[in-house]
Amino acid sequence: MANPTPPNSGTTSDSTAVGEPSSASGDPRRAALIASLQQRYADAEASGDAEAKQALFREAVYLNLPPQLWQGGTADYAG
């Protein structure tokens, strides 16, 4: 019988879904990256720096950290 879970189904090797906040708790480096993004996003938001926010989005995509983990709760997508 075939495996019902497709390869690359959005989970990490420890079965925590990619991007879940709980996935940072076991990884101090990931938690530090999220905290850094949160602080820098808050600073960019406070100063109204759109370029800095865009750079943070690019960095987060590179690090595979969805905005829900580090944004203040409101989505500010430049779609």
Ordered per-residue pLDDT tens for the chain, 79 residues: 555 544 544 444 444 444 444 455 678 999 999 999 999 999 999 999 999 999 999 999 999 999 988 887 544 444 3
Q: What are all long-range contacts of 65-73, with beta carbons under 8 Å and residues at least 24 apart? A: 65/19, 65/30, 65/33, 65/34, 65/37, 66/19, 68/19, 68/21, 69/19, 69/21, 69/24, 69/34, 69/37, 70/34, 70/37, 70/38, 70/41, 71/38, 71/41, 72/38, 72/41, 72/42, 72/45
Q: What is the predicted pLDDT for the residue at 56?
A: 95
pTM across the whole model? 0.59
